[in-house]
């Protein structure tokens, strides 16, 4: 049962009482000192951070008389989150409808651009029409939604868009022509064209049209009598779906990926607008140009300039404020935002997370590369590092950087390449919130192949409990997100003799249809994996019977099929194991990267072909180095195909927050770049 979508207050009081200290004349923070500044703020139990947050004026001294009018109060989702009078968005006043110019929304300035954004609440059913009117009247083409519809069984935002087909909004009278007693009636049609779900967000494309009908009788016209009077406008909605039910996300990387997608769409729109201006057309007409982000609109599209980006969460203050701050993180200023809308960035936890996102953005600045620039970028990475990078490389050794994470570098300054430095940036100021609690329990320590790679508690794969068996729910395995979905992979170590039964239990309980093995059973006389599968005859592993069915020897891998049966109820599944053996533990694949790319393609093709949605289990010896390369390349290749960009650094940092040592050395890191280049070269040939 959902609670009411309108409650008295979503803005909690401060959870920690801190003396309200002013920050007189605080200068801007340079990027070079940002990480140190944040570290200092977090010292002494975050005392400096809380003081800085509490010193921000909540927005007193501004009026909100329009929001408090009796006719407008039902339009506010929360009683204490309102629209200031001086910065509110004014809708066009409708004839004979009092207060029809009001919507709970405010203009927010961007960097060197006034009214760059509109911060608004999640629309209510009674304000759907007003919301779409605002989109149309402002000529906004991007909507950023920072909430799910429901969180913790509570309605956070009503669904204001059609799930399929077309919905019509806002059948309203138009001002009558001069000297005419008749009214015209207008409506807005919103048609969903596409909805694409990614791991951390969903992107929807809508087509909007304005419809018109003359009043030929005393009653308003029907929908059937409304006719299009405008061209089609395409609007993109970006919904961030990875925000937890309470608090703030544990990691910054998903939000960075999301904001980059939003920025790509914005840049594409601006480019289309500029093309129209250069060709003498009206901005927004978009003829003779196409975009993978925005379809070209017909020449009858709106002639006014592109409008503000609309950003909303539930109340339109907390997560909305964070999104806007992220867009112009170099000029982060929550105080100024609160002069335009109250409670922007509403809790200390959100404020702290915003700082973490800023630090992360600074650490990976410049790491995203288009496919057209990738070859030159990689060539530069193989060159000796420039002096400026070298000074930063050695300077950060004393600031929790390279030395703190890896010890003193083995190379001399003259042999350090830009690739070395980029690889060291993976662990620089990387926020790891997880603890390896279960992995460190005495009853579980013998189940770990190495103490260097342990699963974090927050995303470890949990097995069912067994009666009178301590630690029966533990296996050294971690859920890892993919490009299209959360928990797309299970990264795990190669089974030990005492964990084989747990391994098969994990495969069954978490419905994993595919196992990818990236090592031999042994190398140089050292066991890398216990042979956990039956070679010729069926074998029983606790309640599960595993029967070998067929084996295919392919040029670069072996494919085995097994029938797995639960002896308790007779349920049967077919499992497939891909073993890629052309990869020694201490090196890159001995052949070209083409073989590994082919393996990745075959694994995902097989999963799609048989309609199997469970996570793909991936293991090498420790479940980190080669496992990290496989998962990273799977994500990078998909992003390259869909978005035309590559960011190995940010991708690896995200993987490291889910399992430590993913891509464990610079050779594996460089191999990822080589594989991406080889993939691109295959198209050229």
Tell me the per-residue pLDDT of 475-505, one tens digit each, with 9 for 90 and over. Answer: 999 999 999 999 999 999 999 999 999 999 9
4, part of any domain: no
28, part of any domain: no
Question: What is the b/e burial string over 587-623, where b = at least 16 CB atoms within 10 angstroms of the residue's CB?
Answer: ebbeeebebbbebbebbbebbeeeebebbbbbbbbbb
Give the domain-ending residue among 311, 344, 363.
363
- Domain, as residue range, for 393: 371-424
- Could you report the per-residue pLDDT of 125-158, keeping only the tens digit for each? 999 999 999 999 999 999 999 988 987 778 888 9
Both structure tokens of 457: 């508690």
Beta strands in 570-646 (DSSP E): 572-579, 616-619, 645-646
Same domain, 358 and 490: no
Quote the pLDDT of residue 109: 85
431, part of any domain: no
Q: What sign for the dihedral angle of Cα 207, 213, 219, 223?
A: negative
Same domain, 177 and 248: yes
Residues 6+ apart with CB under 8 A from 594: 678, 682
66, part of any domain: yes
CATH number at residue 647: 3.90.190.10
Same domain, 543 and 401: no
Same domain, 321 and 380: no
Give the domain-ending residue among 344, 363, 382.
363
Quote the pLDDT of residue 28: 73
pTM of the model: 0.87
Residues of the chain with pLDDT under 70: 1-27, 57-60, 174-183, 214-220, 245-246, 281-304, 315-339, 341-344, 346, 392-414, 585-591, 685
Report helix, strand or coil for 532: coil
- As beta bridge partners, residue 645 has 370
Quote the pLDDT of residue 170: 79
Distance between CA atoms of 549 and 561, rounded to whole angstroms? 5
CA-angle at 163, arms to 159 and 164, nearest 5°: 150
Same domain, 478 and 384: no
21, part of any domain: no
Give the domain-ending residue among 328, 363, 398.
363
Same domain, 355 and 376: no
Helical pair 253-278 and 318-327, crossing angle rounded to 10 deg: 60
Same domain, 411 and 311: no
Distance between CA atoms of 13 and 183, rounded to whole angstroms? 49
Nearest to 77 by CA among 107, 120, 106: 120
445, part of any domain: yes
Quote the pLDDT of residue 396: 59
Same domain, 469 and 557: yes
Quote the pLDDT of residue 316: 45
Quote the pLDDT of residue 182: 67
Quote the pLDDT of residue 411: 52
Largest Cα span, the chain: 97
Same domain, 339 and 415: no
- As beta bridge partners, residue 206 has 192, 235
CB 487 within 8 A of CB 511: no
Question: Which residues have a catalytic role annotated?
Answer: 313, 620
Same domain, 357 and 377: no
Beta strands in 450-557 (DSSP E): 477-480, 489-492, 514-517, 522-523, 526-527, 539-541, 544-553
- Residue length, the chain? 685
R_g (Cα) of the chain, nearest Å:
28
651, part of any domain: yes
How many domains are contained in the chain?
A: 3
Both structure tokens of 685: 């040939």
17, part of any domain: no
Both structure tokens of 277: 């201006």
Distance between CA atoms of 246 and 581, rounded to whole angstroms? 44
Same domain, 84 and 189: yes
CA-angle at 601, arms to 600 and 602, nearest 5°: 95
Distance between CA atoms of 536 and 547, rounded to whole angstroms? 8
Quote the pLDDT of residue 177: 65
Same domain, 398 and 471: no
Beta strands in 413-557 (DSSP E): 477-480, 489-492, 514-517, 522-523, 526-527, 539-541, 544-553
In the block, tokens 């392919």 appear at 554
């Amino acid at each position: 049962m959902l609670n009411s979508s309108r409650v008295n207050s979503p803005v909690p009081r401060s959870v920690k009482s801190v003396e309200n200290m002013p920050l007189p004349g605080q200068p801007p923070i340079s990027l070079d000192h940002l990480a140190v500044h944040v570290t200092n703020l977090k010292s002494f139990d975050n005392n400096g951070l809380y003081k800085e947050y509490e010193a921000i004026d909540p927005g007193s001294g501004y009026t909100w008389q329009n929001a408090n009018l009796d006719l407008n109060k039902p339009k506010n989702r929360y009683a204490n989150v309102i629209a200031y009078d001086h910065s509110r968005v004014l809708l066009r006043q409708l004839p004979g409808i009092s207060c029809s110019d009001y919507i709970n929304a405010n203009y927010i300035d961007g960097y060197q651009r006034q009214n760059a954004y509109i911060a608004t609440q999640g629309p209510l059913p009674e304000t759907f029409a007003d919301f779409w009117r605002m989109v149309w009247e402002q000529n906004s083409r991007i909507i950023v939604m920072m909430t799910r519809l429901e969180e913790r069984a509570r309605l956070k935002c009503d669904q204001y868009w059609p799930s399929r087909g077309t919905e019509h909004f806002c059948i309203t009278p138009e001002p009558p022509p001069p000297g005419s007693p008749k009214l015209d009636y207008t409506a807005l049609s919103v048609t969903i064209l596409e909805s694409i779900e990614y791991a951390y967000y969903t992107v929807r494309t809508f087509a909007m049209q304005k419809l018109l009908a003359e009043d030929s009788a005393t009653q308003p016209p029907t929908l059937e009598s409304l006719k299009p009077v405008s061209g089609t406008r395409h609007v993109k909605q970006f919904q961030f779906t990875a925000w937890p039910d309470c608090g703030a996300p544990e990691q910054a990387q998903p939000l960075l990926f999301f904001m980059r997608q939003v920025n790509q769409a914005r840049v594409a729109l601006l480019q289309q607008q500029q093309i129209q201006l250069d060709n003498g057309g009206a901005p927004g007409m978009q003829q003779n140009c196409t975009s993978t982000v925005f379809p070209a609109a017909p020449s009858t599209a709106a002639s006014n300039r592109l409008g503000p980006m609309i950003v909303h969460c539930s109340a339109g203050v907390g997560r909305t404020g964070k999104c806007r701050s992220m867009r112009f993180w170099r000029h982060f200023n929550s105080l100024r935002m609160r002069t335009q809308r109250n409670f922007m960035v509403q809790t200390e936890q959100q404020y702290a997370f915003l700082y973490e996102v800023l630090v992360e953005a600074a650490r990976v600045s410049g790491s995203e590369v288009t496919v057209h620039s990738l070859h030159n970028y990689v060539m530069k990475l193989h060159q000796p590092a420039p002096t400026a990078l070298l000074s930063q490389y050695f300077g950060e050794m004393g600031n929790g950087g390279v030395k703190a994470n890896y010890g003193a570098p083995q190379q001399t300054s003259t042999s350090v390449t830009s690739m070395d430095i980029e690889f060291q940036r993976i662990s620089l100021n990387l926020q790891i919130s997880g603890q390896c609690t279960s992995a460190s329990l005495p009853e579980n320590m013998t189940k770990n192949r190495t103490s260097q790679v342990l699963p974090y508690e927050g995303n470890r794969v949990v097995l069912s409990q067994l009666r009178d068996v301590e630690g029966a729910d533990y296996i050294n395995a971690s859920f890892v997100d993919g490009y299209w979905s959360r928990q797309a992979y299970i990264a795990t170590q190669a089974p030990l003799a005492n964990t084989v039964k747990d391994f098969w239990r994990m495969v069954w309980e978490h419905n994993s249809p595919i196992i990818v093995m990236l090592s031999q059973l042994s190398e140089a006389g050292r066991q890398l994996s216990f042979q956990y599968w039956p070679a010729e005859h069926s074998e029983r592993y606790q309640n599960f019977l595993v029967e070998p069915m067929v084996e295919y020897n392919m040029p670069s891998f072996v494919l085995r099929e097994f029938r797995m049966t639960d002896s308790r109820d007779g349920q049967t599944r077919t499992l497939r194991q891909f073993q890629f053996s052309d990869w020694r533990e201490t090196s890159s694949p001995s052949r070209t990267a083409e073989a590994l790319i082919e393996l990745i393609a075959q694994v995902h093709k097989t999963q799609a072909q048989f309609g199997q949605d469970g996570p793909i289990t991936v293991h090498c010896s420790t479940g980190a180095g080669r496992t990290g390369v496989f998962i990273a390349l799977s994500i990078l290749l998909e992003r390259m195909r869909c978005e035309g960009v590559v960011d190995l650094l940010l991708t690896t940092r995200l993987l490291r927050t889910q399992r430590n040592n993913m891509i464990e050395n610079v050779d594996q890191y460089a191999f990822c770049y080589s594989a991406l280049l080889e993939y691109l070269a295959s198209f050229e040939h």
